[in-house]
Amino acid sequence: MNSIFRTDASSKIGTGHVMRCLTLADELRQKGTDISFICREDPGNLVSYIESRGYKVHRLPGEIDIEMDRRLTKEILSKYETKPDWLIMDHYDIDISWEYSLRKYAKKFMVVDDLANREHDCNLLFDQNNSRNKNRYNRLVPENCIQLLGPKYAMLRPQFQKAREKLRKRDGGVNRILVFMGGVDSKNITSKILRAINMLGRSDIAIDVVIGNLNPYHDEIKTQASHMPNTNCHLNIENMAEMMVAADLCIGGCGTATWERCCLGLPSIILVLAENQRKIAENLEDEGAIINLGWCQNVKESSITECISELINNPEKIQSMTDKSRNLVDGEGVNRVCDAMISMVSYIINLTKVEITDINDIFEWRNHPDIRRNFFNQELLSWEEHEKWFTTKLKDSNATVYMAYYREKKVGTIRFESKESVIKTSVMLNPDFLGKGLGSKVIKLGVERFIMEKNHDMQIIAEIKSENKASIKAFQKAGFKESFVSCVFKRE
């Protein structure tokens, strides 16, 4: 699968769009997808950071209008020999007119949004926010567009899912406070919060302040933090999950980090930084998951101090916020989004009988470490052994071996052999196609063709090592039922 992201970061719009796209990109790459980005070089962009993560970035000039953006993006996409499977757009300036004009340059379009204020021409729409209006996009996207809505789909980095599995039980006490107002914080709300915390006069409470590289006030904040007791300032960290797990209370905005805090059950005091955060904060407060102090610039320092003090004296409230926020997000959202994307891309598999010309490919696959480790016999096979085995199978009337193709590429093989009163089957994928969800397709298609051609009514079984979870899952998805160490396929 090939996917291209169109998204931006800047000092004006912040880093959230790019960061959530990177989370999705990392997961898709793990599943074998080729990824690239198209980004403007606006002041405060993250192009170099994206490239440092191993992704190709097509650079657009900074501060161009949306029409020039569309034209230049079209030029980039038109140079691809094969259409990308997905063009993924996470950008508030992009709407149906931009999307429609580029429709023929990608097979499917995905929109990442949270405003529900404009029309889109897309196949898949993702909005992780907790709006009570489940129909908010119905008139804004095509009728056949699949909508992934709500915190269930919140795309979080793997570190948060792992941290959630080992969460300590919070007792409602406040011994450590985390302050994080996003990657930019152009209004310098962080300094206001630090002044409010200092007014508590509680040197026994540890304070962690996290600021991003794009924060224009980072030197001022670091100086301010250095004059506060028991306060540490952290710049552009990668271990945010660890920081959240250690904290008992967070003071932050209501952007992407909201769902990270919910996943880890971290009670939060929220200051709204942008209009698109307002409704999210209100809904979360109604659910008892946060305390919403409202628009950041209207909140007085004394109000922040008072709110913190009230929570310190109310451990039951802290525990309640922990439970209610944690129930909203389970950390599996990015997997759900990836599964939806992969399932929507049609891999058309064709089968042919294996021929002598396939001998080299099968030999290489058989000895590849990622394939060999799942065999009962994990030893390397010599060419002489392989050649003897292969030529024997081609002549064996009790053996049928198919080669699976996707387009012109060999995907793998599926073999059937008559053994006493059953037929045993096994599948072996080309290592280049592992993790792309093709195993079950090859199995299902192979079984259907074998039954049709041979007219057998005997059971077909697959003997699989119990630790080979991926293979077991593929066979089950293809209609096999697990029985002890074997998966047994029964004709209906």
pLDDT of amino acid 375: 86
221 within 8 A of 187, measured Cβ to Cβ: no
pLDDT of amino acid 30: 86
Mean pLDDT of 4-8: 98
Q: Are 269 and 307 within one domain?
A: yes
Q: Which of 342, 366, 384 is the last residue of a domain?
A: 342
Q: Are 179 and 149 within one domain?
A: no
pLDDT of amino acid 267: 97
Among the ranges given (91-100, 243-252, 473-482), the one the predictor scored with the smallest mean pLDDT: 473-482
The residues pairing with 178 across neighbouring beta strands, listed in sequence order, are 208, 250
Q: Above 70 in pLDDT, residue 229?
A: yes
Q: Which of 269, 294, 326 is the last residue of a domain?
A: 326
The CATH number of whichever domain residue 423 belongs to comes to 3.40.630.30
Q: Are 235 and 152 within one domain?
A: no
CA distance 374 to 446: 20
Mean pLDDT of 254-279: 94
Tell me the C-alpha to C-alpha distance, in Å, between residue 114 and each of 109, 177, 262, 281, 399: 16, 29, 18, 13, 55
pLDDT of amino acid 376: 85
More confident residue, 435 or 131: 131
Q: Above 60 in pLDDT, residue 488?
A: no
Q: Are 360 and 394 within one domain?
A: yes
The CATH number of whichever domain residue 240 belongs to comes to 3.40.50.2000
Pick left, alpha or beta for residue 269 (phi over 0 → left; psi -120 to 50 → alpha; otherwise beta): beta
Paired tokens of 372: 């060999």
Q: What pTM was computed for the model? A: 0.70
More confident residue, 248 or 344: 248
pLDDT of amino acid 478: 85
156 within 8 A of 327, measured Cβ to Cβ: no
Query: What is the per-residue pLDDT across 383-423, written as a single tens digit (0 to 9) for each?
Result: 999 999 999 999 998 999 999 998 778 999 999 998 878 89
Q: Are 409 and 462 within one domain?
A: yes
Q: Which residue do the tokens 């916020």 mark?
A: 321
pLDDT band at residue 491 using 50, 70 and 90 as cut-offs: very low
pLDDT of amino acid 470: 85
Among the ranges given (25-34, 330-339, 483-492), the one the predictor scored with the smallest mean pLDDT: 483-492
Query: What is the per-residue pLDDT across 195-212, written as a single tens digit (0 to 9) for each?
Result: 999 999 999 999 999 998
Rg, the chain, Cα only: 27
Q: Above 90 in pLDDT, residue 455?
A: no
Q: Are 186 and 264 within one domain?
A: yes
The CATH number of whichever domain residue 60 belongs to comes to 3.40.50.11190
Q: Are 336 and 354 within one domain?
A: no
More confident residue, 348 or 213: 213
pLDDT of amino acid 382: 94
Q: Are 391 and 468 within one domain?
A: yes
Tell me the C-alpha to C-alpha distance, in Å, between residue 89 and each of 4, 112, 118, 120, 316: 9, 6, 14, 10, 42
Q: Which of 307, 342, 377 is the last residue of a domain?
A: 342
CA distance 405 to 402: 10
pLDDT band at residue 377 using 50, 70 and 90 as cut-offs: confident
Q: Above 80 in pLDDT, residue 279?
A: yes
Q: Are 111 and 202 within one domain?
A: no
Query: What is the per-residue pLDDT across 30-58, written as a single tens digit (0 to 9) for each?
Result: 887 899 999 999 999 999 999 999 999 99
* H-only helix segments in 153-217: 158-165, 189-198
Q: Are 273 and 404 within one domain?
A: no
Average pLDDT, the chain: 92
Count of domains observed in the chain: 3
Q: Are 352 and 450 within one domain?
A: yes
Query: What is the per-residue pLDDT across 118-145, written as a single tens digit (0 to 9) for each?
Result: 999 999 999 999 988 989 999 999 998 9
Query: What is the per-residue pLDDT across 146-204, written as a single tens digit (0 to 9) for each?
Result: 999 999 999 999 999 999 998 988 889 999 999 999 889 999 999 999 999 999 999 99
For 50, the domain range is 2-156+332-342
Q: Are 188 and 208 within one domain?
A: yes
